[in-house]
Amino acid sequence: MGKRRKGARGTEAKIRGEAGSIYRTILRRRKPSLSLPIRSLDNVRYNPKVGYFEIGRKRKERTLTVNTAKTFAQSLKMMSLSIDLLRGDDIATKREAYYVSKNWGDARFDEQTESDAVMDDVEALFEVNREQLGFIPEEKGGEVAGRLTVIDRDPDTGRALKIDCTRFGSGAYSIPISVEDLGFRTNASFILAIETAGMFQRLVKHNFWKKANCILVSMGGVPTRACRRFIRRLADERKIPVYAFVDGDPYGITNIYRTLKVGSGNAAHINKFFCVPQARYLGVTPQDIIEFKLKDATHPLKEVDIKRARDALSNDPFIMRELAWQQAIEQMIEMGVRVEQQAFAKHDLNYVIDVYLPKKLRNPEKFLP
Amino acid sequence: MGKRRKGARGTEAKIRGEAGSIYRTILRRRKPSLSLPIRSLDNVRYNPKVGYFEIGRKRKERTLTVNTAKTFAQSLKMMSLSIDLLRGDDIATKREAYYVSKNWGDARFDEQTESDAVMDDVEALFEVNREQLGFIPEEKGGEVAGRLTVIDRDPDTGRALKIDCTRFGSGAYSIPISVEDLGFRTNASFILAIETAGMFQRLVKHNFWKKANCILVSMGGVPTRACRRFIRRLADERKIPVYAFVDGDPYGITNIYRTLKVGSGNAAHINKFFCVPQARYLGVTPQDIIEFKLKDATHPLKEVDIKRARDALSNDPFIMRELAWQQAIEQMIEMGVRVEQQAFAKHDLNYVIDVYLPKKLRNPEKFLP
Amino acid sequence: MLSIRRRVHTDAARREAGTMRKRKRRPPRAKGKAAAGGRRPGRVRTPSELGENGMDLHQEEIAYQMAVRQREISVSEFFTKNRHLLGFDNPKKALLTTVKEAVDNSLDACEDAKIIPELKIDLRQIGEDRFRVAVEDNGPGIVKAQVPKVFGKLLYGSKFHTLKQARGQQGIGISAAGMYGQLTTGQPVRITSRIGPRKPAHYFEIRIDTQKNAPEIIRDEETAWDSPHGTRVEIELEGKYQKGRQSVESYLEQVSLANPHVRILYRDPEGEGVVLPRAANVLPREPREIKPHPYGVELGVLMQMLKTTGARHLKSFLTRDFSRVGSKVAREICARAGLSETAWPSRIAREESDKLSRAINSTKIMSPPTDCLSPIGEELILAALKKQIKAVFYEATSRAPSVYRGNPFLIEVGLAWGGPAAAAGDGDEDPLASLVRFANRVPLLYQQSACAITKAVIGTNWRAYGLAQARGALPSGPLTVMVHMASVWVPFTSESKEAIAHYPEIMKEVRLGLQDVGRKLKAFLSRRARIADAEKKKAYIEKYLPHIGAALRDILALRKPQEARVVRILTRVLEKSRKMD
Amino acid sequence: MLSIRRRVHTDAARREAGTMRKRKRRPPRAKGKAAAGGRRPGRVRTPSELGENGMDLHQEEIAYQMAVRQREISVSEFFTKNRHLLGFDNPKKALLTTVKEAVDNSLDACEDAKIIPELKIDLRQIGEDRFRVAVEDNGPGIVKAQVPKVFGKLLYGSKFHTLKQARGQQGIGISAAGMYGQLTTGQPVRITSRIGPRKPAHYFEIRIDTQKNAPEIIRDEETAWDSPHGTRVEIELEGKYQKGRQSVESYLEQVSLANPHVRILYRDPEGEGVVLPRAANVLPREPREIKPHPYGVELGVLMQMLKTTGARHLKSFLTRDFSRVGSKVAREICARAGLSETAWPSRIAREESDKLSRAINSTKIMSPPTDCLSPIGEELILAALKKQIKAVFYEATSRAPSVYRGNPFLIEVGLAWGGPAAAAGDGDEDPLASLVRFANRVPLLYQQSACAITKAVIGTNWRAYGLAQARGALPSGPLTVMVHMASVWVPFTSESKEAIAHYPEIMKEVRLGLQDVGRKLKAFLSRRARIADAEKKKAYIEKYLPHIGAALRDILALRKPQEARVVRILTRVLEKSRKMD
């Protein structure tokens, strides 16, 4: 195996520190305990300064008792597994970690949901992301095309590999599960994060990135952790803006875009890694429906859409901070319709390339926050 | 735009032929009609000679009447849209085609399900696949890494682009939605089609393709049309075997593997394009549970698993032809457990690379058909 | 009351028993005390201890002691304790039942006397839970000597022993209402009755002696009354006034629906007056009495008839004592039974009634005569429905009479569809149809779900007639279904007459009636749908054919006149074809 | 039968009416014919045509004609037509009801005579739909002179006028069963009875004359019988034999559950014999008669009592004719009513009964005496439950007596939990609890959903006691709940005695009883859970602590002894802590 992952030693030390403290507590004949931040929505707040959801100060103590003995043992075993991964520069998916536990005898997990929960606990305990512990999610996600060269390394030799994303034709670069060690080279003007694979394919097919000098990223719905982390690292390192192009409906705004920008509520302990605070919302906005005459290509808001929109207005800490968003969402509720990225096909299949995007990109300062 | 797609002229001629026949029927003052193959399971049979599900001979006549006027008009408009796409060398996703119809006045579609059904009808009518008509699915799917160079062309210049899949590091090549025009260069010994992204990532991380001299394809569950077509074209053109590595459960066998190999029942009219008859089943087999001591990393079959298995035994035309599969499925039902690809992690995270795959690959002739 | 009667009667019984055997006073109670004091309670003798061991004398005494306590129970006492059987479960229901019984009586009396009825119903609240109900009719009045028994004796009436359609059947209703009033308020029933303008009106106050089930006349005097003839009955009772579906007003509206010849004046407890006018100025056909029909006469009843008949021969017994048995049928019955036509009925009662019964049931006999029934009639049902319900489609059917257990009966069904609810649009959330049930023109307000009519309505496949219907429910939509059962004997599931028992024959007739009107409703709805279809067809042609033309033009690069020709020809071809497909 | 009676009585009535006024024979029928022939049916006179216009003479005649037809209806006739009220709705139910009525009678008789009952029930099928039911007891027998009335007259009995707990109440049951048999098979009821070994046994065959509601003796003779005393009744009837939940056998099992002192020998129609042994060799406490309790005595009843009392003063009336009214309470009532203690009862009946009634209901009066009730008792309920149901937990409670409408009553609840169903595991698909209902020791088999007991069981929050329960349903799990209501008067919802009416007082007592056993069940289940917890704790410690040691060793690279020390210390620390957390 190649050279050790960056920061692996630091994580290892944290784990050893925690274990040592538990060991000393036991020797003092007291019950050891783990202090975990509470990962629920009421322990989350939106920090506009950093631009993402942060976890609050509430913590729960998991003290070792008869009832918690199993979970406590499992947490320690999970920490031990992480150390093994870090030392061996290996990775394990969540599912694999679950299977590794099958060798733990009575402390084995019966369901993956249990091992996932313990993994989340360990992640929160050390305030690192799962990938830093050597664990990777099951899901991949995100394709890239355009003015970008990704720099990876050969796992055997450790030699740098330059991956030129302008040279994939109709195909694309598939973002790996763990992106921590990737490097980037680009002179693109912006990153366009696109909701649907279909729209991505249209823009790729027509080499839109060439005309617009940009990087196209297909999110395929709510972006995965890897995809968010990829955009974040790219945008941070190369200092380029990120524009989101998603459906103009409550799901597109409050799930896809909001997760991209500020992270998700129930993973607040790791949002600082997995969000893109510099993202801005290109479209489709309710106002676009009027300006681009899309009225007859809209769909009425369903019960669930309206509920989602109202929830966001009254509960989402991000939306509640941003007046512009409140106005846009209220406008949508008032119009009673939602609009999709593909709706421009109504005018002409390439209207989106020929008219919509160029017109919008002339005034990025008007994008919603 | 570059040069026209292969076969575009042929498809265009087919459409014009059909429209001309309708036109002449009308001039004879008779009701025109479309003759469509019936796309349902009871009009499907497994043809062991070609190795995939074929559509039967049952057809329905869609004669123009007052009641069918709307659908009839929509079918013709869809054919007209296809001609436009072919002439303009453009593509449209199913969703985009739906939105294009918003310009058709009263003949517009109210739901995408309606436009999808009409699209399926047109596809079946001309016995071509949707991609040949210029329509592409919404979903992407399938990543590739390993000993393969894909040859695509620059959409603007038409110049060939060589994409070397050995050089993606931890990332991968993402298969485009339409693969009809790709070319391949490889001297790999086989293609390994993998069910989960997690397993794919492990094999990529450890450069398994280098040791085994193969091409790795991640299917991410039931393979999409593009993924199946990609594997098929690659295997056909380069004459290399395809091995499937999926979970050893009724879903992995009767849904993922069976769809890869012989296609799906309700899309029988296009299976000849979208299946990989040369695929063989590497594992995980019920017998592997015994041979690789996975018993304590299995899960009991659920009600729905058993039902799926029994259904396959008594209804699936493919399984009903293959004695070996019947025995394997019956063994699974008898053992009462299912096993996943990740189960090998129980022994060691890299047991699958170090032990399982090398051992299995020594005897490909023993793979299940 | 109870303890007194008990005491009195125990004394009487003791005297009676004394003639049989002497013994101590109240031995059971004394014994009970001893048992409670000393030994384990009740542990007296096990069976094994009994027998030939000298306790025999005592043994016999027990039977005698027990005999003393046996006595007759009057039917009024029985129903006082079981008032819920008569519809006096609670104050709400009691008020409505009282009105209902008085109204039934008045209508029966008027129709018997061939007078077109006019009723005045007056409800006054005279205390927190106390009401005075007054019902007055223009009927024939009641002969002075009969008044006390009619109102002061349970199981006294004219309808029970006749096979003839009537509202009242068993002579319980109005007396029971009076008894309930007396029980809850202590007040007697007050009756004013006059049998003709030349006779004086009589005023009575009557109580019921529940021990004897006999009237007790408190007051009996002539009085001035401005009606030339009729009866007014006033009952004071503990009650509760209720509005809505089971209110007195809604009850009277339903009475008016099933009795289009009745005019009703109603004053509610708040003093509001309501007039329900007539929809018809004719009396219903007078129902006639009939003899029992041989089918359904049970073996025990047949034996009783054979024993007490005046006929001397079997054949004449059959022809004279049954309806629909003529000479030919009687001969056939005798032959099938293997009995002589001249056999003595009383001998057959003893020895061969079983054979006779089987022969009767295997012989084909005409249905009973129908003039014992008085249907409302399709015409009047339609008139009444139109008067009371706003709808766009009305239909009614009056079925031919049928028989259950030897009792002739007849089913009528009315239906109204549409109206405000229908106009509101084809909402998926249509309310359930409303069902109005009648038995011998009397509305049934309670226990809808227990009723044979309801079961038949639910069991009918209304979807076949173009309506929505959930499994096990009434159909839904802007629909009112009215079902009337007329019979010489309506089989209620309880004496409070709220639901009809589930006889298969009745269910079948209701179902056939519903199917009858259902088919007509379907025809109506289909006609509506056809008209809508024709309009839709025209619209379809206008809407979609141009697109076919345009598509062909695009694909085949046609010229404008060619495209226009395609559309023109197609329009003509499709308009010619009659149907949608 | 009906036409004959009608004819006979019409003749008699005519004679009677003749003394009032002469007139034509059968005028109504003649008129009916004319109407059918000529004019529109029934269109005789509208109200406006009537009045002072010379038709008055005719008018009066109508009332007389109608009077002629009025006559008394016998209670047997009434119930013949309304047999469903008595539980003879259909052949299946009729068979069970017949057994039930005979068993009730036998048990009441034995207990009255302080004999521990032994019953033989014999069912024989003698035709396709025909059965012969024989029920024999070792009771005191019936005095010869009483036999015909007991079995051949409805509303004849010893229990109706007493306030005392008994199975039978109204003297209808066994006679009705005989009447049903006679009606469907023509066969008389056959009775054999002997009152002591020194007396001969008597054999009777009795029919009921339904017109008169009186017995008709067909046969009456001495006979040889090997029982020293007892009664055997045999009824032949149309019936249908059924297995399962509502079978005769299941009924008898439930009888045995609520009557642990009874031994039952049963022979089913297939000739199989079943013996249900005793669980106790003692008779239940003998219930005593009581006077009515002042609460719930309605105004009308109070007036009747005041009128017929033997007492000369109000105060003595109160103390003598009611239970639980002593001098002090009587004085308080008089004071509240503002009436003199020496007022004459009969005067008060006329003028001030209303005041008195209000005073009674606002005075605090002790609950009625309880020795009129005979509970099964907690001990015997437990014994019976253990005898019949395999379970792991049994509990029973016998509530203190309470009152509804002046009638004392008492609720007993038994509960059995566990057994085979529980052993099968904590399946989510536990069946519903089975509920066994009793009224005065008589099982209630039908109309479970209509019964107050069921409503109370459903309304109890069983989740609070550790059981699963869906909304509006019985709890689920391996549970049997038995509820017994003992009362001097059980308020059934119908005369067939299948469900208890929803009196709030009764519901409340049932609920309290259920809560009582429920709490004990909860304690039991909690104890079980605690024991399971302690075991779990020990297992947890053994299972999981070694893994903590191993993980710490791996992370911190501890040596074996260090690891062992960690586990040792942790084991001690956790074992010390009493609870799971």
Highest mean pLDDT among A224-238, C6-20, D492-506: A224-238
pLDDT, residue C158, reads: 62
Cα–Cα dist D104/D121, whole Å: 12
Residues A171 and A82 reside in one and the same domain: no
Q: pLDDT of D215-272, one tens digit each?
A: 888 899 999 898 899 999 999 998 889 887 788 998 998 898 889 899 999 999 988 8
| Cα separation values, C334 from B262, C322, C416, Å | 80, 14, 50
User: Is A21 part of any domain?
Assistant: yes
Reduced to 3 states, what is the DSSP secondary structure of residue C568?
helix
| Cα separation values, C29 from A183, C24, D105, D341, D349, Å | 107, 11, 21, 31, 32
Task: Burial-class residue B1 by CB neighbours within 10 Å (0-12, 13-18, 19+).
Answer: exposed
* Final residue before a domain boundary, out of B115, B136, B157: B136
pLDDT, residue D429, reads: 54
Q: pLDDT of A304-319, one tens digit each?
A: 899 999 988 988 888 8
Nearest-5° Cα angle at A271, A265 to A277:
105
Q: What is the phi/psi pair of residue D164, to 5°? A: -160, 145
Look at residues B175, B180, B179, B225 and name the one whose alpha carbon lies nearest to residue B200. Answer: B175
Lowest mean pLDDT among A340-344, B176-180, C94-98: B176-180
Residues A272 and A339 reside in one and the same domain: yes
Q: pLDDT of A11-20, one tens digit each?
A: 899 999 999 9
pLDDT, residue C41, reads: 39
**Secondary structure, 3-state, chain B:** CCCCCCCHHHHHHHHHHHHHHHHHHHHCCCCCEEEEECCCHHHEEEECCCCEEEECCCEEEEECCCCCHHHHHHHHHHHHHHHHHHHCCCCEEHHHHHHHHHHCHHHCCCCHHHHHHHHHHHHHHHCCCHHHHCEECCCCCCEEEECCEEEEECCCCCCEEEEECCCCCCCEEECCCCCCCCEEECCCCEEEEECCHHHHHHHHHCCHHHHHCEEEEECCCCCCHHHHHHHHHHHHHHCCCEEEECCECHHHHHHHHHHHHHCCHHHHHHCCCCCCCCEEEEECCHHHHHHCCCHHHCEECCHHHHHHHHHHHHHCCCHHHCHHHHHHHHHHHHHCEEECHHHHHHCCCCHHHHHHHHHHHCCHHHCEC
Listed by number, the residues of chain D in 43-72 with a beta carbon closer than 8 Å to a beta carbon of chain C are 43-47, 50-52, 56-57, 59-60, 62-64, 66-67, 69-72
Give Cβ neighbours of residue D326 (< 8 Å, ≥ 6 apart): D319
**D-contacting chains (≥3 CB pairs under 8 Å):** A, C
Reduced to 3 states, what is the DSSP secondary structure of residue C365?
coil
* Owner of token pair 């499925």: B329
Q: Pairing relation of β-strands C479-487 and C475-476?
A: unpaired
CATH architecture assigned to D378-520: 2-Layer Sandwich (3.30)
What is the greatest pairwise CA distance in chain C? 127
Reduced to 3 states, what is the DSSP secondary structure of residue A47?
strand
Number of domains in chain B: 2
Listed by number, the residues of chain B in 308-347 with a beta carbon closer than 8 Å to a beta carbon of chain A are 340, 342-347
Lowest mean pLDDT among A342-346, C28-32, C395-399, D469-473: C28-32
Cα–Cα dist B116/B135, whole Å: 10
Judging contacts by C-beta atoms under 8 Å, the chain C residues touching residue B70 are 540, 543-544
Q: At what angle do helices D91-112 and C56-69 cross, to 10 degrees?
A: 120
Write the single-letter amino acid at D380: L
What are the structure tokens assigned to C12, written together?
Answer: 């009487």
ipTM of this predicted complex?
0.52
Residues A15 and A35 reside in one and the same domain: yes
Contact status, residue D576 vs residue A102, Cβ threshold 8 Å: no
Percent of chain B scored above 90 by pLDDT? 43
Residues in chain D: 581
Residue D490 has pLDDT above 90, yes or no: no
Q: pLDDT of D109-134, one tens digit each?
A: 888 888 999 999 999 999 888 999 99
**C-contacting chains (≥3 CB pairs under 8 Å):** B, D
Percent of chain D scored above 70 by pLDDT? 82
Smallest CA–CA distance from B103 into chain C, residue: C547
pLDDT, residue C24, reads: 35
**Stretch B97-117: mean pLDDT:** 88
Look at residues C173, C46, C35, C2 and name the one whose alpha carbon lies nearest to residue C100. Answer: C173
Residues A328 and A353 reside in one and the same domain: yes
Highest mean pLDDT among A44-48, A240-244, A262-266: A240-244
* Owner of token pair 């500020």: A262
Q: Which residue has the higher pLDDT, D18 or A64?
A: A64
Judging contacts by C-beta atoms under 8 Å, the chain A residues touching residue B174 are 143, 168, 171-174
Contact C574 B27 (CB under 8 A): no
Nearest-5° Cα angle at B97, B96 to B98:
85
Cα–Cα dist A133/A269, whole Å: 14
Nearest-5° Cα angle at D437, D433 to D438:
155
Listed by number, the residues of chain D in 499-538 with a beta carbon closer than 8 Å to a beta carbon of chain C are 501
Look at residues B151, D158, A258 and name the one whose alpha carbon lies nearest to residue C68. Answer: D158
Does D touch B (3+ CB pairs < 8 Å)?
no
Residue D182 has pLDDT above 60, yes or no: yes
C328 has a chain D CB within 8 A of its CB: no
Cα–Cα dist A74/A109, whole Å: 8
Contact A201 B136 (CB under 8 A): yes
Contact C300 D185 (CB under 8 A): yes
Domain span at residue B237? 143-366
What is the greatest pairwise CA distance in chain A? 75
The CATH code of the domain that includes B58 is 1.10.10.10
The shortest CB-CB distance from B102 to any of A136, A201, A296 is to A296
Contact A161 B169 (CB under 8 A): yes
Cα–Cα dist D192/D85, whole Å: 28
Reduced to 3 states, what is the DSSP secondary structure of residue A160?
strand
Is the torsion defined by CA of D51, D56, D62, D68 positive or negative?
A: positive
Q: pLDDT of D323-339, one tens digit each?
A: 889 899 999 999 998 88
Quickly state the pLDDT bin for D171 (edges 50, 70, 90).
low
Judging contacts by C-beta atoms under 8 Å, the chain B residues touching residue A176 are 169-172, 201, 204
pLDDT, residue C448, reads: 81
* Final residue before a domain boundary, out of B117, B136, B155: B136
D184 has a chain C CB within 8 A of its CB: yes
User: Half-sphere exposure of residue D293, counting CA atoms within 13 Å on the CB side?
Assistant: 25
Residues A128 and A174 reside in one and the same domain: no
Q: At what angle do helices D299-308 and C2-18 cross, to 10 degrees?
A: 40
Judging contacts by C-beta atoms under 8 Å, the chain B residues touching residue C550 are 77, 80
Q: Pairing relation of β-strands A59-63 and A33-37?
A: antiparallel
pLDDT, residue C169, reads: 62
**Stretch B183-202: mean pLDDT:** 92
The CATH code of the domain that includes B287 is 3.40.1360.10
Judging contacts by C-beta atoms under 8 Å, the chain C residues touching residue B105 are 547
B77 has a chain C CB within 8 A of its CB: yes
Residue D12 has pLDDT above 60, yes or no: no
Smallest CA–CA distance from B2 into chain A, residue: A206
Cross-strand bridge partners of residue C415: C395, C481
What are the structure tokens assigned to A249, written together?
Answer: 């409906």
pLDDT, residue C32, reads: 35
CA end-to-end span of chain A: 44
Cα–Cα dist B256/C265, whole Å: 79
Q: What is the phi/psi pair of residue B159, to 5°? A: -75, 145
Look at residues B130, B114, B43, B33 and name the one whose alpha carbon lies nearest to residue B82. Answer: B130
Residues A175 and A130 reside in one and the same domain: no
User: Is B2 part of any domain?
Assistant: no
Quickly state the pLDDT bin for A265 (edges 50, 70, 90).
low
pLDDT, residue C411, reads: 95
Where would I find the H helices in C119-247? 147-152, 173-185
Contact status, residue C334 vs residue C341, Cβ threshold 8 Å: yes
pLDDT, residue C509, reads: 94
To test the contact with chain A by mutation, choose from D535, D538, D544, D571 the residue with the greatest count of A C-beta atoms within 10 A, namely D544
What are the structure tokens assigned to A212, written together?
Answer: 């617009």
Judging contacts by C-beta atoms under 8 Å, the chain D residues touching residue C69 are 158, 162
Contact status, residue B191 vs residue B165, Cβ threshold 8 Å: no
Look at residues C458, C469, C479 and name the one whose alpha carbon lies nearest to residue C389. Answer: C479
Chain mean position to CA D241: 23
The shortest CB-CB distance from D548 to any of A16, A27, A72 is to A72
B1 has a chain C CB within 8 A of its CB: no
C28 has a chain D CB within 8 A of its CB: yes
Residues B127 and B153 reside in one and the same domain: no
Catalytic residue positions of A, numbered? 99
Judging contacts by C-beta atoms under 8 Å, the chain D residues touching residue A77 are 547, 550-551
Contact A73 D544 (CB under 8 A): yes
Q: How far is A98 from chain B (nearest CA, A)?
A: 9
User: Is A1 part of any domain?
Assistant: no
Give Cβ neighbours of residue D314 (< 8 Å, ≥ 6 apart): D330, D334, D339, D340, D341, D342, D343, D344, D345, D348, D356
Average model confidence (pLDDT) for chain D?
Answer: 80
Nearest-5° Cα angle at D407, D401 to D409:
30
Does A touch D (3+ CB pairs < 8 Å)?
yes
**Stretch D169-181: mean pLDDT:** 79
Q: pLDDT of D303-312, one tens digit each?
A: 888 888 888 8
Chain mean position to CA C431: 26
Residues A186 and A265 reside in one and the same domain: yes
Taking any CB pair shorter than 8 Å as contact, residues of chain D touching chain A are 536-537, 540-541, 543-545, 547-548, 550-552, 554-556, 558, 565-566, 569-570, 572-574, 577, 579-581
Render each residue's pLDDT in chain C as its tens digit; 581 residues: 333 333 333 344 344 433 433 333 333 333 333 333 333 333 344 444 444 444 445 667 776 776 666 666 777 777 777 777 777 877 888 898 899 889 988 888 888 888 999 999 999 998 888 999 999 999 888 888 888 888 877 777 666 666 666 676 666 778 888 888 888 888 889 999 998 888 899 999 998 887 778 888 889 999 989 889 999 999 999 888 988 778 899 899 889 888 989 999 999 998 889 999 888 888 888 777 788 888 878 788 888 888 888 888 999 999 998 888 999 999 999 999 888 888 888 888 767 888 888 888 888 888 777 778 888 889 889 988 888 888 899 999 999 888 887 788 999 999 999 876 444 444 445 678 889 999 988 888 887 877 899 989 999 999 999 888 887 788 988 899 999 999 888 888 766 678 888 888 899 999 999 999 999 999 999 998 888 888 878 888 888 989 999 999 999 999 999 999 999 999 888 887 655 55
Judging contacts by C-beta atoms under 8 Å, the chain D residues touching residue A104 are 547
Cα–Cα dist B355/C566, whole Å: 71
Write the single-letter amino acid at C226: D
User: Half-sphere exposure of residue A4, counting CA atoms within 13 Å on the CB side?
Assistant: 15
User: Is A2 part of any domain?
Assistant: no
* Final residue before a domain boundary, out of A84, A109, A136: A136
- Count the Cβ atoms, other than its own, within 10 Å of residue B157: 10
The CATH number assigned to the domain with range D294-362 reads 1.10.8.50
Residues A184 and A121 reside in one and the same domain: no
Catalytic residue positions of B, numbered? 99
DSSP per residue, A280-293: EEEE--HHHHHHTT
| C81-276 CATH fold | Heat Shock Protein 90 (3.30.565)
Contact D544 A20 (CB under 8 A): no
pLDDT, residue B364, reads: 92
Reduced to 3 states, what is the DSSP secondary structure of residue C290?
coil
Contact status, residue C184 vs residue C236, Cβ threshold 8 Å: no
Write the single-letter amino acid at A37: P
